[in-house]
Structure 1
Amino acid sequence: MKTKNKFILTLLLCGSALQAQNYKLENDYKNIEKKVIEWRHHFHQNPELSNREFKTAEKIAAHLKSLGIEVQTKVAITGVVGILKGKKPGKVIALRADIDALPVTERNNLPFKSNVTDTFLGVETGVMHACGHDTHTAILMGVAEILAKNKDKINGTVKFIFQPAEEGAPPGEEGGAALMIKEGVMENPKVDAIFGLHINSGTPVGVIKYKTEGIMAAVERFVINVKGKQTHGSQPWSGVDPIVISAKIIDGLQTIISRESKLTEEAAVITVGKITSGVRFNIIPESAELIGTVRTLNPDMRELILRRMKEMTETIAKAYGGSATFSVESQTSITYNDIALVNQMLPTMQRVAGNKNVQLTKATTGGEDFSYFQELVPGFYFFLGGMTPGNKEAYPHHTPDFKIDDNGMLLGVKTLTEMSLDYLNK
């Protein structure tokens, strides 16, 4: 009987300690929300393009240093890394936020609207956080502040990765997750697992969406160069028309998706986004260039599609009397959520957001270079709701009208904070 009473007393004491810890964190959450919103507005009004996030990095680094966190700057050009060591040794969890904006001219009436302009690929353009990276940055700064205040509750180490150039480095430059990894961001201390999130304009505030295995696609950029024979537009039989060949190639590529890909297993996309050929209406040109993207969610399908694209491109061009070359460059791998890690952290997400608000989702054919981190260690990447509840229209990401509800960010702070503590203190 004494043993049973002692066990019950232990449970009560543990429960009281847990309640005290949660109460402390709840106070921290209440105090941080206003700051997170202010940070988000600041970054939104002052966006910077990929590999040019100098002022953004300065603000992040200053905040981390003010918290007593060890800070590394100029990682992968403009990246910032913070290292927070807990009370006791243990595993290392990494939390990642992307910090770059897009060459998009904002078109809304927000009081913190961006009026910044810059030059992108030689063209004057507006600059806008049209994908929500401003919210990701502000959320992770909030998580850093709360965990720094509660480092006595941490068994292990938290590594905060503020990554530049997620949208892709400018031509001729390295950048993004790949360059951070190349410069050792996953070492010293060696990372055991990594978490990341992405705000979503089409998901209501308060909702989290997740998926095991592939949640975002591998992204390839391909270039097809078609060679024909130039001639007068009035005498096409005297030459070989690369524009006609290009049209046939585009048509053929789509049959790889519609007739050769097992779409019941995973989605796949081939898109030609740019065609360049010719200079004058009455001249059949000598060459044409096609540039596009391939999106896949399955490694075997990826291999098949790329192989068949090369074969079809070369064969079609030859059949019409010309020639063509096919080249491909990987932009991201499959954003692959580790099954065991997702299952381990799912109860935490459900506790924080509520069971009904943590929802299984389907994969998207968008891409994320967070995938490169997941090739090295188990990772969990999920979507956070940013749409005002009740809204019937959500503006897509990467558009001038893109909007995110500030009320969605606190759940991101809570979720990443609690996931980190539960992972390290399991």
Structure 2
Amino acid sequence: MKKLLLLALLSSSSTLMAQDALKKRVIAESDKIESKVIQWRRDFHQHPELGNQEVRTAKIVADHLRSLGIEVQEKVAFTGVVGILKGGKPGPVVALRADMDALPVTERVDVPFKSTVKAIYNEQETGVMHACGHDSHVAILMGVAEILAGMKKDLPGTVKFIFQPAEEGVQDKSVPFGADGMVKAGVLENPKVDVIFGLHINSPTPAGMISYKPGPTMAAVDEMEIVVKGKQTHGAYPWDGVDPVVTASQIVNGLQTIVSRNVKLIEAPAVVTVGAIHGGIRHNIIPESVKMIGTIRTLTREQRIFVHKRIEGIVKNIAEANQCEAEVKIIPGYPVTMNHEELTRKMVPTFIETVGKDMVQEVPVVMGAEDFSYYQEKVPGLFFFLGGRDPKTPIEKAAPHHTPDFYLDESGFKNGVRTFCNLVLNYAELHGR
């Protein structure tokens, strides 16, 4: 019995020493590769591509993975790339995800690698820019792939590197795209993924800091289209028509009561925003119809269903009260980004171990949306944020995501590389086979 116990202790000690050696290699290799990660990011920034058009980006990624001896799958869900690295030791299958697409935004930041790319979007010419930091996500994951491939024989389990297109969406939504498309293409199978991790750069957070939240982390997003139909008439004789403009105005106000009076805000916030109203062409004509479009953000499935029903009820009842007709169309978007609570609890020590306790923070929910949620519907997942603000820059001067002035401090990228690597190693240690 004593002999068996001694053998078990020796085996455990040997495993811990091997794990410690791998983590030391991660630190050393991430120092070496930092400049390469930054150069990759700058190259992608200078050559941005919109959703499902990431041909150049995908080729660079695929060529890099192949050069590391990683098995590569291309053209997954249009332009996606998947790399499969089989470690030399038994262990779980861990997936890491980066999104590759840019946005129809014209860059104003004066940097040597500024984007001057143009494209046609919604029938208008526009600049194209990595205004949400996906260029950094790709570069970081390429660095992770290089480090982990370099320790392949000592690596426990299998790592899937998922380089995903179209997180920001596409104009043609008739077929699955983005994470939904990748899941339906089978990226979580063959081999079956046990867990998935994803990160997103965050411009207001100090560079290199890790932020996270257990449970609901980012909102579900849906679009709404409302058409109010009245009866056109001369603006001087409103009694001869039915005014859809006045009705639409009442609907906008009515929709605000969903959040202020119907949603239990003590449980979870919600947002209902009308972003545009189109109707009429002349100052003295009451138009026949008015169209409104907007966004809906919710944080639970039950809340999502409830808010949709309230929108339909308010719109149709106000329209009927004003002798108008109304059509409501709700276009489903991404589900809630839901961090697996037990997984999050187990992996937070990895954040602290990697960047230090003072550089890790738990944050409130974010009402923005992320299609990483599609992966989390299938397997346990953890989505976290990596800071990208120069600490010398006041937070109020940090340009928001999706704006022409979006800017990243690149000094924190190394923490992203190290965190991904350590999540793989620590998860394998906790869930070895």
> Is the pair's TM-score, using the shorter chain for normalization, greater than 0.5?
yes
- Does residue 1:138 correspond to 2:139, yes or no? yes
Amino acid at match of 1:322: C
Q: Is the 8 A contact 1:153 1:421 kept in 2?
A: no
Q: Is the 8 A contact 2:26 2:421 kept in 1?
A: no
Distance 1:358-1:221 versus aligned 2 partners, 3 A rule: same
Counterparts of 1:18-417 in structure 2, within 5 Å, are 18-174=19-175, 175-392=177-394, 393-417=397-421
- Percent identity among equivalent residues? 53
Q: Is the 8 A contact 2:339 2:383 kept in 1?
A: yes
Distance 1:61-1:241 versus aligned 2 partners, 3 A rule: same
Deviates more, 1:89-98 or 1:222-231: 89-98
Q: Where do 5+ consecutive residues of structure 2 fail to align?
A: none
Q: CA deviation at 1:153?
A: 2.6
Q: Is the 8 A contact 1:225 1:326 kept in 2?
A: yes
Distance in 1 separating the partners of 2:226 and 2:306? 18
Deviates more, 1:147-156 or 1:161-170: 147-156
Distance 1:293-1:2 versus aligned 2 partners, 3 A rule: closer
Amino acid at match of 2:82: V
Distance in 2 separating the partners of 1:80 and 1:7? 41
* Aligned-residue RMSD, C-alpha: 1.9
1:418 alignment partner in structure 2: 422
Distance in 2 separating the partners of 1:214 and 1:19? 33
Q: CA deviation at 1:93?
A: 1.0
Q: Is the 8 A contact 2:338 2:376 kept in 1?
A: yes
Q: Where do 5+ consecutive residues of structure 1 fail to align?
A: none
Instruction: Determine helix, strand or coil for the equivalent of 1:367.
Output: coil
Q: Is the 8 A contact 1:102 1:129 kept in 2?
A: yes
Distance in 1 separating the partners of 2:182 and 2:14? 44
Distance 1:118-1:4 versus aligned 2 partners, 3 A rule: closer
Q: CA deviation at 1:4?
A: 10
Distance in 2 separating the partners of 1:378 and 1:403? 32
Amino acid at match of 2:141: L
Query: How many residues are matched?
Result: 426
1:284-331 Cα distance to aligned partner (Å, 9 max, x none): 111111110000112222221111110000000000010101111111
Q: CA deviation at 1:415?
A: 0.3
Q: Is the 8 A contact 2:23 2:422 kept in 1?
A: no
Distance in 2 separating the partners of 1:47 and 1:95? 22
Distance in 2 separating the partners of 1:168 and 1:125? 16
Distance in 2 separating the partners of 1:238 and 1:93? 67
1:173-196 Cα distance to aligned partner (Å, 9 max, x none): 531111111111111111111100
Distance in 2 separating the partners of 1:17 and 1:171? 49
Distance in 1 separating the partners of 2:276 and 2:173? 20
Instruction: Determine helix, strand or coil for the equivalent of 2:114.
Output: coil
1:86-129 Cα distance to aligned partner (Å, 9 max, x none): 11343211111000000000001111111111111110000000
Amino acid at match of 2:339: N
Amino acid at match of 1:412: G
Amino acid at match of 2:344: V
Q: CA deviation at 1:16?
A: 5.0
Q: CA deviation at 1:11?
A: 7.7
Distance in 2 separating the partners of 1:15 and 1:265? 42
Amino acid at match of 2:306: L
Q: Is the 8 A contact 2:167 2:179 kept in 1?
A: yes
Q: CA deviation at 1:19?
A: 4.4
Q: Is the 8 A contact 1:137 1:162 kept in 2?
A: yes
Distance in 2 separating the partners of 1:44 and 1:323? 47
1:60-103 Cα distance to aligned partner (Å, 9 max, x none): 11101101111111111111111111113432111110000000
Q: CA deviation at 1:207?
A: 1.1
Amino acid at match of 2:369: G
Amino acid at match of 1:316: I
TM-score by length of 2: 0.95
Q: Is the 8 A contact 1:28 1:146 kept in 2?
A: yes
Instruction: Determine helix, strand or coil for the equivalent of 1:221.
Output: strand
Instruction: Determine helix, strand or coil for the equivalent of 2:368.
Output: strand
TM-score by length of 1: 0.96
Q: Is the 8 A contact 2:218 2:370 kept in 1?
A: yes
